[in-house]
Structure 1
Amino acid sequence: MKPHDRTLLDAAARGDEDAVRAALAAGAAVDARDERLRTALLLAVLGDHTAAAAALLAAGADPDAPDARADTPWLVTGVTGGVRTMRALLAAGPDLRRLNRFGGTSLIPAAERGHTGYVRAVLAESSIEVDHVNRLGWTALLEAVILGDGGPRHEETVALLLAAGADPALADREGVTAYEHAVRRGFGGIARLLRPATEPGAGR
């Protein structure tokens, strides 16, 4: 690896915007990769370093460049939940259909982690598919219930997904709906949001 490329990667990882710009000016390749095929932009996004990411994007960094695990800068915004960084990458025109190693979009890990600000913003500001099904057979709604903790953040996430048109009738591979998962896990607030209209107490 060329010295300037290493300098760029290190600067991006620690979020040093000035050092990123200096490395680029010195001749570093904007999409240089480390040993795990992570670009400087991906490293900046992993740390939610918006300014460094913006500098790389302005220099032409690819928001869809995959690493060895099929993570891309855009997909990782859903993992970190950084709204400002997400908006910076969204302005660069990422492929919203690009999938991670689990076959999911950026919305699904954001829903799993209860990143409510991210979920709200990406649903309102992009055309991301709300009911995309990953390789596990889960939508963002299902993942928010199955892997969430049932607390306020996940309850709000479920509400945001439903408001954006998520279909609560979509079941997992075993035919279990998000409502049924919520009931099984004792998530009363989420179950009330998801309760089918035909169930006793619906709408309460």
Structure 2
Amino acid sequence: MRLSIATLLLALFTGLAAHAEPSAMNTQLFDAARRGDTAAIHQALAQGAALEARDDQGQTALLVATHGNQIQAAKALIEAGADVNAKDAIQDSPYLYAGARGLNEILQLPLAHGADLNSTNRYGGTALIPAAERGHVETVQLLIDAGVKVDHLNRLHWTALLEAVILGDGGPRHVEIVRRLLAAGADPTIADKDGVTALEHARQRGYQAMVAVLE
């Protein structure tokens, strides 16, 4: 039996409408995550938004909430089952981003909900390495306590210890990070790809407090 043009058009528009509705809900979910509006998050999910939907940067709603340090929104999404290890187009995940940026309240949520401690960012580093570089002392301790490998080497052949010296400022926060990494068993004899150790880098930069700790 041949279908009329009207029937075909009706079927087409019905299909388009069905597709548009989840898309609109996904947009609402992203907006709610960005604002930190937990009620709107629950509403969008109840109305069919996809928990793991991606925006044009490959970010999930959880990563959007993490970027905004929206703690309650991140908690609501994680409790709904959001993947704390889902990576965007530049290989950031909620876990990795929170660790790198020192967002400790959010970081504790992925750590309690299946964070992949071996996952790496676009530089081949674990969450511990950028946390050490940026001077996030308590973040470094959280990651050490969680069991992140302290001697992991990124693509530059730097460990967290090397990065704290090379890219740090030699100030109290980075000195404390060096101290905590060593206390956690970091190997100070590991050198960069040019054969230069953390101690030698600290000496070259005149970071006397770091030198004292490393010696």
Say whether the fold is shared (TM-score over 0.5): yes
Q: What is the aligned-residue identity percentage?
A: 54
Distance 1:35 1:186 in 2: 45
Is 2:94 the counterpart of 1:73?
Answer: yes
The residue aligned with 1:198 is none
Of 124, 141, 150, the residue aligned with 1:130 is 150
The residue aligned with 1:7 is 28
Of 34, 44, 50, the residue aligned with 2:55 is 34
Distance 2:48 2:151 in 1: 43
Distance 1:153 1:16 in 2: 34
Of 84, 99, 108, the residue aligned with 1:87 is 108
The alpha-carbon deviation at position 56 of structure 1 amounts to 0.5
Choose between structure 1 and 2: higher helix proportion. Answer: 2
Distance 1:161 1:178 in 2: 12
Structure 2: stretches of 5+ with no match in the other structure: 1-19
The residue aligned with 1:140 is 160
TM-score after normalising by structure 2: 0.87
Is 2:173 the counterpart of 1:156?
Answer: no
Whichever residue aligns with residue 202 of structure 2, its letter is A
The residue aligned with 1:115 is 136
Listed as ranges, the matches of 1:8-23 within 5 Å are 8-23=29-44
Distance 1:3 1:174 in 2: 52
The alpha-carbon deviation at position 91 of structure 1 amounts to 1.1
The residue aligned with 1:103 is 124
The alpha-carbon deviation at position 16 of structure 1 amounts to 2.2
Structure 1: stretches of 5+ with no match in the other structure: 196-204
Of 189, 194, 197, the residue aligned with 2:209 is 189
Deviates more, 1:135-144 or 1:9-18: 9-18
What secondary structure does 1:130 align onto? Answer: coil
Residue by residue, what CA displacement relative to the aligned partner does 1:49-88 show, whole Å, maximum 9, x if unpaired? 2211111011111111111111111111122211121111
- Are 1:78 and 1:108, in contact at CA under 8 Å, matched by a contact in 2? no
Distance 2:153 2:178 in 1: 16
Residue by residue, what CA displacement relative to the aligned partner does 1:101-133 show, whole Å, maximum 9, x if unpaired? 100000011001000111111212x12101100
The residue aligned with 1:200 is none
